[in-house]
Amino acid sequence: MNSVYRPLSSVLDVVETLIEVALPPHCVSCSAAGDLVCRSCRELMRRADGQRCRHCWLPSDALVCADCLSQPLPLRELRSGFVYDGPTRGAVLALKHRGVSEVGRLLVEMSGEIRAAPDIDLIAPIPIPFLRKRRRGGNQAEHLARAVSEQSGLRLDRGALRRRGWWGPRQAQAPSRSARRRIVAEAFAADASRVEGRGVLLIDDVSTTMATLSEAARTLLAAGATVVDAWTAARAE
Ligand SMILES: [Zn+2]
Ligand SMILES: [Zn+2]
């Protein structure tokens, strides 16, 4: 399926880029003319730093929070650039729903140096279902992953993890927590030939409940990945 649609995907990527270049930038958060993220919005963006749990990256006085102690994540560690509120939310939503791909690069740049552990071999964006990707004008995680790859020199592998299905299940409509979890559990497939014996850095736009990142990590580990870390542009607290 992927190989058939790749040419169409490339053409649409080029059209998207041309539109972005042709239009003068407006702040994706407050609409002020001039920059993609204006100076006052940048100042309001809160960095996801300070004392945090090394696994789930939520504020925590302890090195590992109580939740991660009682229910360890399949991920070794998550790191995030910003707290998901204020203008960061506007930037992430513009990247996600309006296909403003350049915001991805900007969020990575503004996050500073993203240091992957020495045992990480490749970068894998969290994939979204094909039809959702077309409607959104791209996958927000891929835009971020490309920028992280350029910054870190780590190889980007878009084929390491793929999404099952064309549209994907509607998680929010599932009747119970266990049903939602089962739906997420069926969402991903990993290519063992690409990940076996390798360390993977997952990339996504925002981490909220950790359900998606955890399931992607479980899928990669089951396919033979040695370790899975994650980086997201924003962390919901
Ligand atoms: Zn602004
Ligand atoms: Zn934690």
Distance in Å, CA 59 to ligand 2 centroid: 8
User: Residue 103 belongs to what H/E stretch?
Assistant: helix 102-110
CA dist list (Å): 68 to 7, 53, 104, 183, 216? 43, 8, 29, 23, 17
72: CA distance to ligand 2 center in Å?
8
Ligand 2 centroid to Cα of residue 55, in Å, is 5
- The ligand placed nearest to the CA atom of residue 76 is 2
The residue ranges of DSSP E strands in 71-143, in sequence order, are: 78-83, 122-125
Q: How many A from CA of 92 to the centre of ligand 1?
A: 13
DSSP codes of every residue in 32-43: -BS-SS-HHHHH
Q: Does domain 45-235 have CATH number 3.90.105?
A: no
Ligand nearest to the CA of 29: 1
pLDDT reported for residue 100: 82
pLDDT, the chain, mean = 88
* Rounded distance from Cα 186 to ligand 1 centre (Å): 39
CA atoms within a 13 Å half-sphere pointing along the CA-CB vector of 87: 21
| 40 Cα to the center of ligand 1, angstroms | 6
Distance, CA of 127 to CA of 130 (rounded, Å): 9
User: Which of 21-30, 133-142, 205-214 is least confident?
Assistant: 21-30
The confidence score (pLDDT) of residue 17 equals 62
Euclidean distance between CA atoms 77 and 161, whole angstroms: 18
pLDDT tens-place string over residues 101-128? 899 999 999 999 999 999 999 999 999 8
DSSP E strand boundaries for 23-104: 78-83
Least confident of 15-19, 87-91, 92-96, 181-185: 181-185
How does DSSP classify residue 228? E
Ligand nearest to the CA of 33: 1
Dist. CA 101 → ligand 2 center (Å):
30
- Taking the whole predicted model, whether its pTM rises above 0.95 is answered as no
Which listed ligand is nearest to 44 at the C-alpha?
1
Element (H, E) at 150: helix 140-152
User: What is the C-alpha to C-alpha distance for residues 118 and 36, in angstroms, rounded to an integer?
Assistant: 33
**pLDDT tens-digit map of 153-209:** 999 999 999 998 766 555 555 566 666 555 566 789 999 999 999 999 999 999 999
Sign of the four-CA dihedral 72, 121, 102, 136: negative
Which of residues 142 and 15 earns the better pLDDT score? 142
Q: How far is the CA of 50 from the centre of ligand 2 (A)?
A: 14
Q: Which ligand is nearest to the CA of 77?
A: 2
Residue corresponding to tokens 């990256």: 57
Do 75 and 217 touch, CB atoms closer than 8 A? yes
Query: What residues does each domain of the chain span?
Result: 45-235
Which ligand is closest to the CA of 58, given by its number?
2
